Amino acid sequence: MDNVEYDQFVDDYGWLFGGAALIFYLAIALIFFIAYVRIIQKAGYSGWWILIALVPVVNAVMFLVFAFSRWPLQRENEALRAGSPYPR
């Protein structure tokens, strides 16, 4: 293929490769988004907290709060081990 034919090929089918890459990226992002929601739910928080991750700077604060705070499941586990009912 000479340069003119290659340029014509890219012009004709470039959108196809870009579209496929975009669909692939969105599928991977959706899988990770669902996984993050499941992790947050297993920690005892609402899955809606994942929306905070979309806000710049606030997402770093959220990460630190979740990392260093006592999770609801930890509090429930400690209350059950102590023999007292867990307040909901």
What tens digit of pLDDT does each residue of 9-43 get? 666 667 777 788 899 999 999 999 999 999 888 88
Given this model, what pLDDT does residue 23 score?
94
Compute the residue count for the chain: 88
Could you give phi then psi for residue 79, rounded to 5 degrees? -65, -40
Boundaries of every domain in the chain: 3-82
Residue 47 predicted with pLDDT over 70 = yes
- For the full predicted model, state whether its pTM sits above 0.85: no
Which residues 6+ apart lie within 8 Å of 43 measured at CB? 66, 71, 72, 73
The arithmetic mean of pLDDT across residues 63-73, rounded, is 84
Q: Which residue has the tokens 């705070």?
A: 69
**Run of H or E residues at 77:** helix 72-82
